[in-house]
Amino acid sequence: MHILFVADPLETFKIYKDTTFAMMREAQRRGHTVSACEVTDIAWTSGGRVRAQVRDIVLTGDPQRWFDAGATGLDRRPSELADFDAIVMRKDPPFDSEFFYATHLLEQAEREGARVFNKPRSLRDHPEKLAIMEFPQFTGPTLVTRNAQDVRQFHAEHRDIILKPLDGMGGTGIFRVRDDGMNLGSIIETLNRDGAQSLMVQKYLPEIVAGDKRVLLIGGKPVPYSLARIPQGSEIRGNLAVGGKGVAQPLSSRDREIAEALGPVLVARGLLLVGVDVIGDYVTEINVTSPTCFQEIHDQAGFDVPAMFIDALEAASTGG
């Protein structure tokens, strides 16, 4: 297979933990050809097919210079996306207007015969925080609104709450407001921009002290280990990007119940890889853009997550 990874600049990868790198390494180990591009490299000329300036790469095994982009004698070459056996969309959030337009270009490439994972339309249809609202049986009390009074009423009912922007990533913009309501007004104004922007409000889950668990679904099936991202010090956020400690652990019975309910639904929509965030017994996010934690789980638990993913990619790309 010839696999194209649409990702952030290769030069920015932290390969000791990067999930896209782990996918590439496993693909190359199996003899697949690996290419990469950024969303900024994708173009579509009227009357033609969607194309990109791609880099054909070989992984070197050298952590200082981990890839060679001159595999075909060119640093970049033009290629039509439909010519690849599989395209793996791994552009990191935020889901902004440029990401949105990229999904449209990739969807056109699908019409031309490309096979894209995760499916572009499903990336648009599953905003990572709002997506949980489809599964209320697995979520704690949650409110999405831009109305300040709605937020105040939610706080009055639940007393200890979390507020977050709908387009945040890596734990950015998350606030906790306890029973005293300290700074609630200013936090609402910051997040909803005086009523111009929606935000999410959730009842605080004290189980966060044991970790915000990332449960991976690959091809609709759960990886048997989660990565519990445990807040450190006085932090309320377990995100690795803000210093949380990642600890791999077997799925709990509740984790499996959630995974087995969501997996078949999401894979049927073209979501080959999903990262479900679980605190205690409740789903807090459903991540579909570029879920991570492959290497941490592999390194700590010994389960080969990249191999499971490439297995699923090979099967999906050939219609298996």
Catalytic residues: 129, 164, 214, 229, 237, 277, 285, 287
Smallest CA-to-CA distance from 144 within 200, 189, 191 is with: 200
Rounded Cα distance, 190 and 188, in Å = 5
Whats the size of the chain, residue-wise? 320
Whether residue 212 contacts residue 171, with contact meaning beta carbons closer than 8 Å, is answered with: no
* 79 SS3 class: strand
- Among the listed residues 166, 169, 11, 168, the one whose alpha carbon sits nearest the alpha carbon of residue 75: 11
Strands 42-43 and 245-250: unpaired
Instruction: State the Cα–Cα distance between residues 117 and 133, nearest whole angstrom.
Output: 23
Helix (H, G, I), strand (E, B) or coil at 314: helix
Q: Residues 20, 291: contact at Cβ < 8 Å?
A: no
Name the DSSP letter for residue 91: P
Query: Whose CA is closest to 38, among 59, 62, 13, 2?
Result: 13
